[in-house]
Structure 1
Amino acid sequence: MKAGFVNIFGRPNAGKSTLLNALIGEKMAIVSSKVQTTRHRIKAFLNKPGEYQVIFSDTPGIIDPKYKLHERMMDSVKSALEDADVALLIVDANENFEEVDAIFQALRLKVPSIVVLNKIDEAANGKTAQAEAFFTGKPYCRQLIKISALQKVHLNKLLDAVMSLLPEGQPFYSEDDLSDLPTKFFVGEMVREKIYQLFGDEIPYHTAVMVNEFKEKESLVKIQADIIVNRETQKAIIIGDKGSMIKQIGMMARKDIEAFIQQKVFLELFVKVRPKWRDNDLQLKEYGYK
């Protein structure tokens, strides 16, 4: 039996969340074309009873913190560095390899690492060969695997490489579980994802979602959540003309939540203004950024 922590590191938008979802076969992490979508460390379990339990962790993209929120995000990266048995260092095939290398060197990894060259289906001419030449031989690179997380190309090859490095041991979690995070967390993330999909560059980075109520009734699950913003003008944008935008967020999120929990959902959303919440320790803790 093999069991261990396989943690995914990389720059924003390298495809960490897409890779986690593809490996698990479930939508565990929200995905957006915008950078810094992932704010938490999200653990998801790949189980084959009697053979292995791989605890994959998606981590926030590595950035220079500008707010206390960013500092919390980078704390998640640090905690993932501490308990990793294997590290997956994910690189967008079209990225600047020198800059990525500087980040990977700075991680000072003490565990075996696989460089995962992602988005090979979108790679510019010769970029995959350049990446192979560049990363192979780096002190942190035990092996380089070329994949497309979105197209699910070469994922079995990546899993085989992971298994070869995973230590022997007993499962850390129940083999029936998919994650150690509560359903409420994933519900909040699905609402937040719709904000990333529906609004321009600024709004998503100023919002948080707090699920206040998750009540399972006979015929449905009643959920009430607050969308937190910095300013009144942002509140007006989120609500939209005659409530059109918040209605759209609710409809889209409800569809995903119902698919996730396999039950009918009644979703109620409110928008609340909390100025400078991204730099407020108490509010960050309240919204789950510990």
Structure 2
Amino acid sequence: MVNADKIKDIPTTSFENALNGRVAGLQVTQTSGQAGSTPALRIRGIGSMNASNDPLYVLDGVPIVSESVGQMGSYLNTTNNIMANINPDDIESITVLKDAAASSLYGSRAANGVVIINTKKGKTGAPVISFKTSVGMTPTWATDNYEAAGVQEQINMLYQVFYDLNITGGKTPEAANTDALARLNTRFNRHGYRFETSGTDRYQNVAILGMTDGIENREGRYFNWDEVLFRTGFFTTNDLSVSGGTDKTKYYSSLSYTQDKSRVAVNEFQRIAGRLNLTQK
């Protein structure tokens, strides 16, 4: 069993990530880089080729099928797990059943194991207001694993590759130079560039020139795709809950907002979750 105290300080969009390394024999595998995606839980490994290998989830005593149990091919990469709607801060405890106890309680549905989730409930006493916020960042240097060559070095390298292709094909240096420049121009004319060399040998420094297309100061410059496609990753979650009760009435209500902005600019996840638990005798 994993209690709420063990996962309350882990900034994550799903409780599955919080279980990583905390339950013996439980495999937590992130199958998608999509922001907000839920990882795959494997309690007994992969036991079927054309059916789901996900465990049975039991939420407050109600069995829930998180995905289709009869899909073929794409189920290993699916991210539309309904359990992603659960706010991890609303969970009181998580119990993983993987042996005979699972089958004795839930029969054949427990073939892949069972994950029992108990959510928080109100307790007798004065109202308790709780607020928690978590913030995380993924700066650019976290994914800068290598330094890319400059635009001049890359163009010179491409020129040499095309040049060698022609030389090995039996062409003269002049013909190899002409073909290499033609290949570069074919690829980059559409972006407003043209290329020239002062000679015809392999080790030429290719001049990067701008075309007459109305854009000034293009000479030797290039478009920096890193600034457009990537950004500093940002994660934040805000959880507000109110709970309390008397001997006859107990209540627990919560509201949360989660935002996960990936390092990739077009990859983003937002979730607004609300919950109300009311027990009346």
**TM-score, structure 1 length as denominator?**
0.23
Bigger radius of gyration among the two: 2
Which has a greater percent of strand?
2
